[in-house]
A and B are shown apart, each in its own frame.
Chain A
Amino acid sequence: MRYSALSLLGNAFSKNKNWKPAWRNPDPKPHYDVIIIGGGGHGLATAYYLSKVFGVRNVAVLEKGYLGSGNIGRNTTIIRSNYLLEGNNPFYEFSMRLWEGLEQDFNFNAMVSQRGVINLFHSDAQRDAYTRRGNAMRLHGVDADLLNRDQLREKLPFLDYENARFPIMGGLMQARGGTVRHDAVAWGFARGADQNGVDIIQNCEVTGIDRDGDQITGVQTTRGAITCNKLAMAVAGSSSHVAKMVDMRLPIESHALQAFVSEGLKPFIDRVVTFGAGHFYVSQSDKGGLVFGGDIEGYNSYAQRGNLACVEHVAEAGMAMIPALSRVRILRSWGGIMDMSMDGSPIMDRTHLSNLYFNGGWCYGGFKATPASGYCFAHLLANDTPHETATAFRMDRFARGYLLDEKGVGAQANLH
């Protein structure tokens, strides 16, 4: 059923008794053309675009838990395309353009809100760096505006402009950035893919990968063996764990990142704001809670939770930026596992096995990339060539020295 004002009205008159589940819950078939491991945002988006744009419909998405139980439901919902590097920027802008038309495209309300993303700067050097990034964005056709302190005060009067150590001098704004209701992204892609005939199989963990020489023949799962022509990994967070099944070692470490939500407040912060003197980013949800986060924990982790040291650090950074937060109570915090790659950028490529495809290494920037990641990965799966915006995300770029290191910190995963 297509959702519309009319369907809403019709169901209201029938007392909302006739709503159907948004997707089926099928048993796995013995064989698929393409199996996608991972029913998170990227896996579901891949299935959606594969079935919709590239005409590959005999597809299964295998999810070890329930749909959307991983990072797609654990992030801070921010979308933006304010990247510096040539290999990154066109890809994230492609993603932004997909976000802009996404709700009409998959007929689901994902609450895409282009409220603007502002990165604060606190020194002359940082202003220069942000100017450079803003110019790079504009050269790629992305909107970017450098705001001085007075312009910023009009938009965000509650910041600590006179902070003795980190005075706020201005900010780089991408007005088209914003937030999206993250769970709805998973649900919308799942529903769209399901309607195109994709089987979304939940509670189905891949326990082994079957090989014949350099060919993948299928997977072993907790719901039996399934064969396939092509196998796609979209398991960011657990990439190393799954890759180990085919003896791959990756330039990736798994790290825990926490996110937080405060008690509900009256409208207060109407944009996404990021601190430039520490790692802190905040927006306010439509329910009123402040949604915010900071740095990863710093040690390898597969536990979907963090520790108190990071909670304190994030709270301190938030206080330094917005002193008015001092009496706001944190309602909940939770953690997710990040695929931290060695240059801070993702990997989307073929592998040493002829029909195994890899998508991972999203660090903590995977959410904003969801639609483009799905589209480009589907392109790779269907055509065996990378999409024009994703040519830099090669697996061998580390060995060849073509790193995509936005931050310039080198091969130290916990610093990206």
Chain B
Amino acid sequence: MSSLVKCPHCGLRPREEFTIRGEVATPRPDAGADEALWFDHVYLRDNPRGEHREYWHHSGGCRRWLVLTRNTLTHETSDVVDASTLKLGERA
């Protein structure tokens, strides 16, 4: 469930310690990139029913950005990793 999140640095912590950024649909485009790319990045979402990868910030703890793999239908979290372990620009 989403009441407790297993931070890879701090262990099992309550949801209140986290700030949720949510799905990052596409990698952030270059500053000069086409408007359509920016529109997609800023506004459009996959918003799947089921498995969902999303950014959470442990703002009330270690202040690390995490990537959760969480099921939006059951609220089960299957995986949590530090966001820095993803390659730069890799789709979360």
Nearest CB on A from B56, distance (A): 8
Task: Evaluate whether A299 and B54 lie within 8 angstroms (CB atoms) in the complex, with A253-B23, A254-B72, A413-B22 already known.
Answer: yes
Chain A 393-416 interface residues, beta-carbon cutoff 8 Å to B:
398-399, 411-414
Point out the residues of chain B lying under 8 angstroms from A299, CB to CB. 2, 20, 22, 54, 70, 72
Chain A 195-250 interface residues, beta-carbon cutoff 8 Å to B:
238, 240-241, 249-250
Chain B 14-62 interface residues, beta-carbon cutoff 8 Å to A:
14-16, 20-23, 25, 35-36, 39-40, 42-49, 52, 54
Report Cα–Cα, A249/B26, bound state, in Å.
12
A34 within 8 A of B: no
Nearest CB on B from A345, distance (A): 13
Q: Do the beta carbons of A253 and B74 come within 8 Å of each other?
A: no
Which residue of the partner chain, among A249, A307, A398, contacts B2 with CB atoms under 8 Å?
A307
Report Cα–Cα, A241/B73, bound state, in Å.
12
Chain A residue with Cβ nearest B68: A299
Point out the residues of chain A lying under 8 angstroms from B1, CB to CB. 307
Q: Do the beta carbons of B73 and A240 come within 8 Å of each other?
A: no
B63 within 8 A of A: no
B85 within 8 A of A: no
Which residue of the partner chain, among B3, B20, B21, B46, contacts A240 with CB atoms under 8 Å?
B46
B75 within 8 A of A: yes
Point out the residues of chain A lying under 8 angstroms from B40, CB to CB. 249
Report Cα–Cα, A253/B16, bound state, in Å.
21
Task: Evaluate whether A302 and B43 lie within 8 angstroms (CB atoms) in the complex, with A309-B3, A309-B14, A413-B22 already known.
Answer: no
A297 within 8 A of B: yes
Report Cα–Cα, A307/B54, bound state, in Å.
18
Which residue of the partner chain, among A238, A251, A307, contacts B75 with CB atoms under 8 Å?
A307
Nearest CB on B from A51, distance (A): 32
A303 within 8 A of B: yes
Interchain residue pairs with CB less than 8 A apart (13)? A249-B44, A249-B45, A250-B44, A252-B47, A253-B22, A253-B45, A299-B2, A299-B54, A301-B75, A309-B16, A399-B35, A399-B39, A412-B22
Chain A: residues with CB nearer than 8 A to chain B? 238, 240-241, 249-254, 297-303, 307-309, 313, 342, 398-399, 411-414
The 6 closest A-B CB pairs, nearest first, are: A240-B47, A251-B43, A398-B43, A302-B49, A249-B44, A309-B15
Sample of 12 further A-B pairs with CB below 8 A, known A240-B45, A241-B49, A301-B75 = A240-B47, A240-B48, A249-B44, A250-B44, A251-B45, A299-B20, A300-B23, A303-B73, A309-B3, A309-B16, A342-B43, A399-B35
